[in-house]
Chain A
Amino acid sequence: MLHIINKSTLTSGTLDTCLNTAAGGDILLIEDAVYAATRGNAAEAKLKAAMGRFKLHVLMPDLEARGMGDRLIEGVSPVDYGGFVELASNNKTCQSWL
Chain B
Amino acid sequence: MSDAKKFMFVNRKAPYGTIYALESLEVVLITAAFDQDVSLAFLDDGVYQLKKGQQTKGIETKNFSPAYRALEDYDIEKLYVEKEAMEARGLTEEDFLVPVTVLSSAEMGKLMDEQDVVLSF
Query: Which A positions have Cβ atoms within 8 angstroms of B?
Result: 6-8, 10-11, 31-32, 35, 38-42, 44, 60-62, 64-71, 80
Which chain B residues border A60 with CB–CB below 8 Å? Answer: 58
Question: A6-B17, A10-B44, A11-B45 given as contacts; is B61 within 8 A of A65 (CB)?
Answer: yes
Residues of chain B from 2 to 24 with CB closer than 8 A to chain A in the complex:
12, 14-18
Which chain B residues border A38 with CB–CB below 8 Å? Answer: 89-90
Query: Which B positions have Cβ atoms within 8 angstroms of A?
Result: 12, 14-18, 44-45, 48, 51-56, 58-59, 61, 63, 65, 88-91
Question: A8-B45, A60-B58 given as contacts; is B90 within 8 A of A67 (CB)?
Answer: no
What's the count of A-B pairs with C-beta under 8 Å?
Answer: 71
Give A80 Cβ to nearest chain B Cβ, in Å: 8
Q: Would B16 and A66 count as touching, CB distance under 8 A?
A: yes
Question: A66-B14, A66-B15, A71-B90 given as contacts; is B48 within 8 A of A35 (CB)?
Answer: yes
Which chain A residues border B90 with CB–CB below 8 Å? Answer: 38-41, 44, 71
Which chain A residues border B12 with CB–CB below 8 Å? Answer: 11
Closest to B90 in A: A40
Q: Would B52 and A65 count as touching, CB distance under 8 A?
A: no
A68 to B52, CA, bound (A): 9
Write 9 A-B pairs (CB below 8 A) sorted by A numbering.
Answer: A8-B14, A39-B90, A41-B90, A42-B89, A61-B58, A65-B63, A66-B54, A67-B51, A67-B52
Which chain A residues border B61 with CB–CB below 8 Å? Answer: 65
